[in-house]
A and B are shown apart, each in its own frame.
Chain A
Amino acid sequence: MSKKHEKSGYTWINPLAAWGTAVGNAAAPSVEVPDIREDWDKATGYKVKTHKVGRLKHYIIWPNHGEKLWSRWRWWPTRRNLLHVTGIYNRKTAIAETKILDRRPLYWLICLAFLAIAPMLFPDNMQNTLLTAGTIFGIFAAINVCWTLIIGTASIFSLASYAVVGTAAFLTSWLSVTYGVPWYVLPVIGAVIGLVFGVAIALPALRLDGFYYALLTLGLNELCRVFFTTSREFGSASGGLYGADSFISESWDPMVQSHVGYYSAFLLLLMSLSLFRLINGKRLGRILRMAPEKREAFAAACGVDYKRARIMIFLITSVALGFIGGFYAAQYRGVAFSIFSFDTVLLGLAMLAIGGIGKAEGAVLGTLVVIFLDKVLLDWGPMRHFMIGALMLAAVLFLNNGYFGIKKQFNAWREKKRGEWRSARTEKGGEALPEEATEVDDKDQLYLRRFDKIQRDYLKTLITPEIIEEHRRQPLGQHSEALERVLLYFRRARMEDKYALHRAGPEGPYKIIAFSGTRGVSPRLVDDREFATVDEGYHGVFMRRVHDLMES
């Protein structure tokens, strides 16, 4: 086995032989033991190129509050603090500093503030286009945020969201046109219509899975389209139903009208986001995320009543979508059939996919991108639909979960790359590299790895048939220096996966086990091989350890 030290004819004399206590091992063929310092002398550097490590402090890090009283603010009426701020000790300096664990509320604030002042920043020549697009964006984003509650949080693949909005919009428009119902009642009536619709689509969701449910809801959407386009009451002749009461007076200046439209849609979006936050961040959202598709049985076994939760989410979002439908009618004085059209559903899906399903920010960003392409870059002509398709395809092909999944995806990719680099650079069981050392708090462990590496390299040269035979003959007691050094190393190993024997009866048989190294966790059986005597067992353990050493 050894390359270096197969010097034959060396016989070790047991120092206990003179006493007569060297039972069975008075002398043994062994190997001469070289000086381990030779191995230390050889270990003068890493075999791979080393690089400096470290990350520059490139942003402001706030100090902790220390002696000062830190009064924390909460989101009324919850116990959640304004920001998830916590203090940590910097691992490099041991100095306390403040860390915002979740910066998303800040980003939201900045983006929403930007949306609020956006009309002031619009160029004059684009003012009208952008305000119109902004209004559509607000309404569609509100719809998509509700929709993502169903597709993302509840993971139910429903395509009927626009059907709910459309139905509510048509019915409220019709009521307003026919009975003169004022604009401020329309969203409320829409909400009631949404509730009825919600009940109708919630029930099949309990029985149908993914694809089938998607087909069903798509069919429902189509049914609504056919119903409304063919009904004269709903304006089958004019391509839509118009003439409902609105909160935007036609007597106002067109720019004022556009601005009111924009800000009312913005308000609707804010309401929709609040709803998302209330549901997703609270009990109902957690229950639903515990029971994603195909894991319902597991969730149910954990005590999660997912059916109830799914009906609830349908009812709540349908009410919200109905409300948006009523609002839509009151905003635009009516509604067009295109709300039911297949490309509306597809565009909506594209919005969700681009932004990332299951996240409010995904729904909003996706809507922004698609609306911008569809309604602002009108000059591009049909190309822009091609662009939307390409974006959606790219999101599906290259991103795991839309734009807002990129960070996680990137981190995972970097981790994978790091693993590849490391495995190319490090030796198995070798010394820690500078980049690995950054992850080890107890620097003593770094030295242990160096010591252990050299020790193992050295001991490998001592593993010879002679010492194996010597151990087989006499597992316990005084051994030749070569064997003794190997045994001392084996015995000093850390507890994790350290071998021992398990005895079944009063005098055997024995099996090899390995300790867990974790308090209270029982040892594992290494294999089923049985040893009749304890000495055979000891030798079995020794051979396993020799095997592990030579493998390392």
Chain B
Amino acid sequence: MAQQKIFGYANRISVKQGEDITFYVNCDGASEAQVQLVRLIHGDAHEAGPGFQEEEVAHPANGSWKVKKQFTQLGSFLQVADPDNRLAVDGAFTMFCHIWPTIPKKGERQTLMGRWDTKNNTGFALAINPEGRLEFQVGDGKEVDYVTAELPLVARMWYFVGVSFDPASGQATLYQEGVANRYNSLLGKVVPHDYASHVRQTFRFRQKNAPSTPFLIAGSRDHHLLRGDFVSDLFAGKIDRPAICDRVLSREELDACKTGAKPNAAAILAWWDTTAGYSDRGVGQTVFDSGPHGLDAEGVNHPVRAMTGFNWNGRDDCFRLAPEQYGGIEFHPDAVTDCRWEETARITVPQDLKSGIYAMRLRIGPGTGITEEYIVFIVRPAKPSAKLCYLIPTASYLAYGNESLSFDAHIIQPMTGQPPVVTELDVETYEHREYGLSTYDHFEDGAGVCFSSYLRPVINMRPKYRMSSMNITWQFPADLSISAWIRHQGYDCDFITDEDLDREGLDAIKPYNCVITGTHPEYVSERMLDAQEDFVAGGGRLIYMGGNGYYWVVGFSRDNPACMEVRKLDSGMRAWAAKPGEHYLQTTGEKSGLWRNRGRAPQKLTGVGFIGEGFETASPYRKMPDAWHRTVSWITEGVEGEIIGDQGLAYGAAGGIELDRYDLSLGTPPHTKIIAATGGHSDNYVLVTEELLYAYAGLVGSLDYRIRGDMTYFTAPNHGAVFCTGAIGYGQALPANGFDNSAAKVLANVVEAFIKDGPLPGTKWTLEEKQWR
């Protein structure tokens, strides 16, 4: 029997009562899965907390589902819609494109463009051979004939490559020229490389075109007995302005095309203008053909656009300034943004199902480890009814979706100060890599991952999971500690997600008195940020429950709302750095990177912003002098002594992991008070890089006073207010000691005040003090 494992995802992450949700399941070693709708109560089995808790919910879909093995198409490529097979050229033709290969010597063939069937060896394709040389091949179903360039391609250099083939004479001529300028490539002109290669070979036969073979860019058709048709021989790197003409172009004509010029219109079969379609709101996944037949190409698994092209001059740093320099489309053989599995089941969320965090629990065989899957979704109320709203940071879940830092990132152990603790689930997903990467990972060619979607199993967005590099819960399972506490307190609470906030803006949270965030709402779009700012300014109360929040600028794809984009650049604690000129989001046209670098430091909304991080210990908070001021003294009411949060599920205290600090110079509202602050952090806690102008010795916990988490409070117009915990670990501290602890007490004071209509406590103590002491 095959090893048993089950994985799945849903088409939605946020569903309203009464709406449908569809599930997609891939299963090995079983044909039926035991299915149960569950409400997730608490996600961490840590002994200091209540343990893992779920509540089974009656639903007609419970019982047994038929499941099967499903296959995932990995890799990004372009598929040309060519219903009339106009590109099935039987006669003479010329194909060319500009390329910037990243791993030319991959040891595997990488197809650049063509109509090629790998299984049957039919068609024609321009490719890079396993040794890293440009190669053109034709196949007649029995044999393959090819011509190979003289010199290997050098990684990260721009080339203009092409081939012309005349079946009448059998002559196939390769054209390869370097088109590097001072900016666009890895190496400059001081390197004595010659990049040019022009090779002619006389072929013995011509291509045979099968009608069903698609014209692909950056991949070629393959077939597997069980799986059916799929795409293999995927290309890693950039392609700019690919084209195909229906006759042999002369050397002079190709010399002109090298500069980006279009060949004679009469010769063009298709000329994909990779620079078309840009607006100041970004660009989609369709690559337009400006040739006579309009054979547009569609991106699969999000080839990255808004990337510099072969003619990037280094002066214009955004496609909004010079779209004609942004024809580069970057392809990655290990990208996946939509698994495109067959539907397994569709259910309707009952009208009376309470808003909350739910999951479809699927089990096969023993039902533990990788034989158990939770497909998580959030149920929103059809109509808002509660005063409190829990804003689930799904954008941040996507950012971390399936991260594999423990396995691939050599910096993770120095960062976390401990050896990782991995489980069977981590090893399984790492080994198979079918479910894609997070925005913390690199593709195999070293490029950072900028797209993440939930149309794939996201193994760390499930209960019971602990982030292996830190051995604590992170993001979704950590946020369950907050919802468990809300439930324990008995507050009436509605749940919504980042996605809803991005779609609906302020309307999504306007009905509520108080919005509480997750432990680490790090990734926010402009609409999400605007909505929360307007919410607070309009009298709403915001509880920012974490650290390192409101940090990265993200955008959601127009054509696939399940997919989020981020580019990491310039400064900030970042897993990778976008290349020069590639700092703008293709999904929205905005500059990505840190909100702080765009004039919206998190301090402006919340009062605090990221200052330091450390992962092996945590500290409690101690009340700051302002805590005794009557405007805020109600917050710490009922806490004995000055220490807050000395227990917790994440390293034993509330003040840890990632810390945020009050900073007037970054826009902390001037009337903000620091209620309490953490301190005494170990040297594993380091200063964040965006604070760094010059690096100097001693930017660590025990030496730098700035490295601390600030618990802050300020009031906003119309009875609005913002309370911040200033540390990620606060959320995981709530369940400690049966929810009876000082951190939970403080939060309860705040929530209970915030959900009440009318003025907040302490608002009358606002006169200038006349003091005797």
Contacts and interface: CB of A to CB of B under 8 A. Distances in A.
Q: Is the A/B pair a real complex?
A: yes
B680 A522 contact: no
A456 interface: no
B683 A21 contact: no
Given A19-B680, A500-B419, A522 B430 contact: yes
A429 interface: no
Interface of A: 15-16, 18-23, 64-72, 74, 77, 79, 81, 86-89, 93-96, 98, 475-478, 484, 487-488, 490-495, 498-504, 506-507, 510, 513, 515, 519-523, 534, 537-538, 541
Contacts of A520: 430-431, 433
A94 to B, nearest CB: 5
B682 interface: yes
Contacts of B430: 520, 522
A36 B10 CA distance: 56
Interface in B150-167: 150-152, 154
A448 to B, nearest CB: 12
A64 B195 CA distance: 10
Nearest to A65: B150
Q: Can you list the 8 inter-chain pairs with the closest CB atoms, starting with the nearest?
A: A19-B680, A21-B680, A476-B616, A87-B150, A491-B413, A506-B45, A478-B682, A87-B151
Contacts of B197: 64-66, 70, 87
B47 A507 contact: yes
24 contacts: A15-B702, A19-B619, A19-B679, A19-B680, A21-B681, A23-B617, A67-B196, A69-B173, A70-B198, A81-B201, A88-B152, A89-B193, A95-B194, A96-B193, A98-B150, A475-B418, A476-B616, A488-B414, A495-B407, A495-B408, A502-B421, A504-B423, A507-B45, A522-B430
Contact of A72 (B201, B417, B703): B201
B476 to A, nearest CB: 17
B421 A21 contact: no
Contacts, number: 167
Contact of A493 (B410, B431, B464): B410
Contact of B421 (A88, A487, A534): A534
A534 B408 CA distance: 22
B150 A86 contact: yes
B639 interface: no
B679 A21 contact: yes
B663 interface: no
Interface string B188-221: 0001111011111110100000000000000000
B150 A500 contact: no
Interface in B398-454: 406-410, 413-414, 417-424, 427, 430-431, 433, 444
Interface residues of B, number: 64
A534 B422 CA distance: 12
A77 B143 CA distance: 13
If over half of B's interface residues share one DSSP class (helix, strand or loop), that class is named, otherwise mixed; here it is loop
Contacts of B192: 93-95
Given A64-B150, A88-B152, A490-B413, 20 more contacts: A16-B682, A21-B681, A21-B682, A22-B680, A65-B197, A66-B194, A66-B197, A69-B173, A74-B201, A77-B204, A87-B151, A87-B197, A477-B617, A477-B684, A492-B410, A500-B419, A500-B421, A501-B422, A506-B45, A506-B464
B348 interface: no
B702 A494 contact: no
Interface string B553-566: 00000000000000
A364 to B, nearest CB: 30
Interface centre among A490, A503, A521 (most CB of B within 10 A): A503
Contacts of A79: 143, 145-146, 204
Contacts of A93: 192
A522 B422 CA distance: 11
B431 A64 contact: no
B52 interface: yes
B410 A478 contact: no
Contacts of A69: 173, 198-200, 251
Nearest to A478: B682
Given A64-B194, A67-B196, A476 B418 contact: yes
A513 B422 contact: yes
B427 A484 contact: no
Contacts of B651: 476
A98 B204 CA distance: 26
Contacts of A476: 417-418, 616-617, 651
A417 B211 CA distance: 59
Contacts of A491: 413-414, 417
B358 to A, nearest CB: 22
Most buried by A among B196, B251, B413, B430: B413
B173 A503 contact: no
A503 B702 contact: no
Contacts of B464: 506
B616 A477 contact: yes
A427 B407 CA distance: 30
Interface string B385-407: 00000000000000000000011
Contacts of B191: 94
Interface string B161-185: 0000000000001000000000000
A63 to B, nearest CB: 8
A369 to B, nearest CB: 38
Contacts of A534: 421, 471
Interface in B574-621: 616-617, 619-620
Contacts of A89: 151-152, 154, 193
B284 interface: no
Nearest to B680: A19
A67 B651 CA distance: 64
Contacts of A18: 680
A510 B45 CA distance: 16
B652 interface: yes
